[in-house]
Amino acid sequence: MKRFSIARSSSRRLSNGLASKVSLSAPVIALLLLAGCSAEESPRPNLVLITVDRVAADRLGCFGGPAEQGLSACALAKGGTLFAWAASPGRGEASGVASILTGLPESEHGVADNGYEFLPDRFETIAEDLQEAGYSTAAFVTSPRVNTSRRLDQGFDFFDDRLSSPSRSQTTASQELPQKISDWIEVSPEPWFIWIHANRDAGLIELERLLSRLSQMLDAPQNVPGILFTSLRGERESENLGVEQTEERITWRSHRVPLIWRPPLTVAEQPPRVSRRLASLFDVAPTLRAAARFSDRRSPFEVASKEPIASKHPDSTGRDLAGLARRPTSRASEQERFVVLHVANSEGEVGLASGNHLYTRRSSSLDGSGHPVPMASLSAMKARFATIPVGDPIDPSGKPSARLEIGPWREDVLAADSPVPRLEFHLARRLARSRANETSTPKAEASHSSTSGALPATPATPASPEPKGSPE
């Protein structure tokens, strides 16, 4: 069922196979066996994934926000890389977690935020991959919207969602969580993978306290783990202004999220690098797989499913952030990338993030057909675009700041130099693929109740169970 071939098992199969060949001399066999042993002795790194339910990138000083905000989050990037333009698909919390753990969009994994769908067993999570490779795995969740009822605990030896109970305040969670993690690390063999999901309901200050305590606890000098920090979604403009917003819209703040990757064993004293290439939540799982040194080279859409998937999305496949951060050698080697953007309301706005633009418009009856909205209708659909005001990623003279200003929204989208026709074409293609996946997946699973992604229409509110594999 697990498809990854890892370095350790590969070396064992190689040495066993070669030893059976009588044509090889004993010295050659001995050298090959010794090489396999030395590969086995190279330990895999510890890995930590920290996610927050919602934080706009411009809340943090290192992403262009007020200098005094987000100091603990920004400190995680020392020695690592800040991704200045990281796009979230933007649906919601449960679907965002499923996308992070599988590397797939909602149209593939089927976990929606406005229903009771759970993650079907046929999808492989990053926790299952690492568990198969010999990692101890644990998750610590403080949000009531992400728990075992969604089957997001697949692959975790230990899954603690007790702090997500409504009876536990987020202040209590930030105080107790670091000690819970420390207790688990003490009794768990290395290498280990820890996922920490924080609820921001208590405010940014409480989140800062939590991240500060986690940094002090995780950065043990003997084995500094790789740390990946991101938010599942940004924030509405109304959340910043404290007013009710009647129509949810796609803006910089709603879909641009902080994304930080610090590789394992990094000396956290050097200032972070800044990458301006488009990144997304789909890059999380491939990055952790690469850091754990998996040898599999298939796309995440093949990796994440334990069964064949009919559709492939070559241009939305997740990337390893370490490779994404490296400057391309030429424009020809820089493949254009796109990420489809949504709002919680399925009838609301849709959009597209590219390496250079943010494009959005209202939903159309043509969406899902594969046909672009006619140019003459785009004004009525309130089509808008902005050029991302960051330096050319290939131009070394680009400014070192990660700050993104509000782009120049254009009313005349039909100007001769407008990128809208091209962006609309790519958006239409991707919405058609998503619609095809949404309509085909339920039919394929309808006859398999054990792997169906749908719960009863009126489920009882699940009680917070004891965490799996509790060390107590």
Average pLDDT, the chain: 76
Give the strand pairing for 81-83 and 259-262: antiparallel
**pLDDT at 388 (0 to 100):** 82
- The rounded distance, in Å, linking the Cα atoms of 438 and 432 is 10
**pLDDT at 4 (0 to 100):** 38
Count of Cβ atoms closer than 10 Å to residue 25 Cβ = 9
Lowest mean pLDDT among 1-10, 169-178, 370-379: 1-10
Q: Which residue has the higher pLDDT, 240 or 222?
A: 222
**Cβ atoms 6, 294 nearer than 8 A:** yes
Place of tokens 């010295």: 27
CA neighbor of 111 nearest in space, from 81, 122, 323:
122
The alpha-carbon radius of gyration of the chain (Å, integer) is 23
**pLDDT at 470 (0 to 100):** 44
Q: What's the pLDDT band for 332 if we cut at 50, 70, 90?
A: low
Q: Which residue has the higher pLDDT, 156 or 455?
A: 156
| 138 three-state secondary structure | strand
Q: Which of 207-221, 286-300, 315-329, 439-453 has the highest mean pLDDT?
A: 207-221
Average pLDDT over residues 94-101: 89
How many CA atoms are closer than 13 Å to the CA of 107, on its beta-carbon side?
A: 22
Average pLDDT over residues 253-277: 86
pLDDT above 80 for 253: yes
- The rounded distance, in Å, linking the Cα atoms of 277 and 283 is 12
**Cβ atoms 275, 84 nearer than 8 A:** yes
**pLDDT at 241 (0 to 100):** 46
Q: What's the pLDDT band for 424 if we cut at 50, 70, 90?
A: very high
pLDDT above 80 for 6: no
Place of tokens 């800044």: 274
Q: Which residue has the higher pLDDT, 7 or 359?
A: 359
Percent of the chain with pLDDT over 70: 67
Amino acid at 256: R
Q: Is the peptide bond prior to 191 cis by the omega test (within 30 degrees of 0)? A: yes
In DSSP terms, 432 is beta-bridged to: none
**Cβ atoms 161, 146 nearer than 8 A:** yes
- The rounded distance, in Å, linking the Cα atoms of 202 and 213 is 16
**pLDDT at 184 (0 to 100):** 95
Amino acid at 351: G
**Cβ atoms 396, 389 nearer than 8 A:** no
CA neighbor of 419 nearest in space, from 330, 333, 468, 359:
359
Homologous superfamily of domain range 47-241+248-328+337-445: Alkaline Phosphatase, subunit A (3.40.720.10)
Q: What's the pLDDT band for 30 if we cut at 50, 70, 90?
A: very low
- The rounded distance, in Å, linking the Cα atoms of 79 and 273 is 8
**pLDDT at 144 (0 to 100):** 80
Place of tokens 């039909």: 414
**pLDDT at 335 (0 to 100):** 72
Amino acid at 147: N
Q: What's the pLDDT band for 279 if we cut at 50, 70, 90?
A: very high
pLDDT above 70 for 268: no
- The rounded distance, in Å, linking the Cα atoms of 152 and 72 is 27
pLDDT above 70 for 204: yes
Q: What's the pLDDT band for 221 if we cut at 50, 70, 90?
A: low
Average pLDDT over residues 47-55: 94
Q: What's the pLDDT band for 22 if we cut at 50, 70, 90?
A: very low
Q: What's the pLDDT band for 166 if we cut at 50, 70, 90?
A: low
Give the strand pairing for 86-87 and 279-280: parallel
- The rounded distance, in Å, linking the Cα atoms of 322 and 228 is 11
pLDDT above 80 for 349: yes
- The rounded distance, in Å, linking the Cα atoms of 357 and 341 is 12
Phi then psi for residue 406, to 5 deg, are -60, 130
Give the strand pairing for 273-275 and 81-83: parallel
DSSP assignment of 386-415: EE--S--TT-TTS-S----PPP---S-TTS
**pLDDT at 303 (0 to 100):** 52
Q: Which residue has the higher pLDDT, 437 or 421?
A: 421
Q: Which residue has the higher pLDDT, 110 or 99?
A: 99
Q: What's the pLDDT band for 60 if we cut at 50, 70, 90?
A: very high
pLDDT above 70 for 79: yes
**pLDDT at 451 (0 to 100):** 40
Average pLDDT over residues 236-255: 68
pLDDT above 70 for 426: yes
Average pLDDT over residues 159-188: 80
Inter-residue long-range contacts of 156-161, CB under 8 Å, 24+ positions, other chains counted:
156/127, 156/131, 156/195, 156/468, 156/469, 157/131, 157/188, 157/468, 157/469, 158/184, 158/188, 158/467, 158/468, 158/469, 158/470, 158/471, 159/467, 159/468, 159/469, 160/467, 160/470, 161/464, 161/465, 161/467
Place of tokens 């920490």: 196
pLDDT above 90 for 296: no
Average pLDDT over residues 176-199: 92
Lowest mean pLDDT among 32-36, 82-86, 109-113: 32-36
Residue 90 tokens read as: 């933007």
pLDDT above 70 for 252: yes
Q: Which residue has the higher pLDDT, 216 or 289?
A: 289
The structural domains of the chain, with segments of one domain joined by +, span 7-41, 47-241+248-328+337-445
pLDDT above 50 for 129: yes
Count of Cβ atoms closer than 10 Å to residue 429 Cβ = 16
Place of tokens 């994304």: 259
Q: Is the peptide bond prior to 66 cis by the omega test (within 30 degrees of 0)? A: no
Burial classification of residue 209, based on how many CB atoms lie within 10 Å of its CB (0-12 exposed, 13-18 middle, 19 or more buried): middle
H/E stretch holding 360 reads strand 357-362
| 28 three-state secondary structure | helix
